[in-house]
Amino acid sequence: MEFIDTHTHTYDEAFAGCEDEIVARALAAGVSVQLQADVDSRERERMFSLCARHPGVLRPMLGLYPGSVDKDWRREVDALEAWRGRGIVAVGEIGLDYHYGAETKEEQKEAFRVQLELAAAWDLPVNIHLREATEDFFAIIADCRHLGLRGNLHAFSGSAEMFDRLRRLGGDWYVGIGGVVTFRKASLAETVKRIPLDRILLETDAPYLTPVPHRGERNESAYIPLIAAFLAGQKGVSVEEVATVTTDNARRLFAL
């Protein structure tokens, strides 16, 4: 079986000194590609250097994370152009997060819109981080529907109705399902039953959101099969089918 981790941070300081081991364990588990989500200019060089060490396995995204948006956000976004030719597969992770960044709501909305326009101009999908900003997110996506956007909602925790609402706005959209789906009280376990498998991607968001039975430990891409197995049980299909369909979804969306 082959899997793709569509959102991870192998370059994170939590993996300092053992990055190659993390990649090797993922490959041994059948996770052939691990997409690296960008955060901001402070970590970008480390991410691209690690991707260069593992060509074809670690693939970079490029974008300004909403938690890194401040009054100087435009300089950060302008700096993205210099990295454009480095094999990026998506503009991300971008979006809105009002849980920790309520004081930068206006800046976040502007930065999000500009990066959606960049993705359209570069003909790339978007990888979206969304937390406690649903209505502003939908307002911006509706305004940008002429861009023909495609992408995924990373670490999806919404409802099936929310995803349907997004799809009605046009574009080609997927949800990223990670370790949260395995949590005992997570409503997502029921939600995934109502989302078609051909709209689902697998992800870890490592080193965060570790799936059961490793919850509380550092997450890593090698745990993708655990997420796939849980999803298979919820959908009433084989793990092999989950692997095949979600891998095909990722290859199609990110042109892998």
Residue span of the structural domain in which 198 resides: 3-254
Check residue 3 and give its pLDDT.
Answer: 98
Check residue 29 and give its pLDDT.
Answer: 98
> Domain holding 143: CATH number?
3.20.20.140
* Paired sense of beta strands 172-177 and 200-202, if any: parallel
129-144 per-position pLDDT tens digit: 999 999 999 999 999 9
49-78 per-position pLDDT tens digit: 999 999 999 999 999 999 999 999 999 999
Q: What is the DSSP string of 204-240?
A: --TTSSPPTTSTTS---GGGHHHHHHHHHHHHTS-HH
Check residue 60 and give its pLDDT.
Answer: 98
| 15-to-9, 18, 19, 20, 39 alpha-carbon distances in Å | 9, 6, 6, 9, 16
Percent of the chain topping pLDDT 70? 100
Question: Residue 143: how many CB atoms within 10 A of its CB?
Answer: 12
- Average pLDDT of the chain, as a whole number: 97
Instruction: Report yes or no on whether pTM surpasses 0.95.
Output: yes
| Confidence at 100, pLDDT banded by 50, 70, 90 | confident
20-52 per-position pLDDT tens digit: 999 999 999 999 999 999 999 999 999 999 999
Q: Across residues 242-247, what is the average pLDDT?
A: 98
Both structure tokens of 123: 């003909």
Check residue 215 and give its pLDDT.
Answer: 96
| Confidence at 101, pLDDT banded by 50, 70, 90 | confident
Check residue 236 and give its pLDDT.
Answer: 98
- In angstroms, the CA 172 to CA 235 distance is 22
Check residue 157 and give its pLDDT.
Answer: 94
197-232 per-position pLDDT tens digit: 999 999 999 999 999 999 999 999 999 999 999 999
Residue 89 contacts residue 59 (beta carbons within 8 Å): yes
Domains held by the chain: number? 1
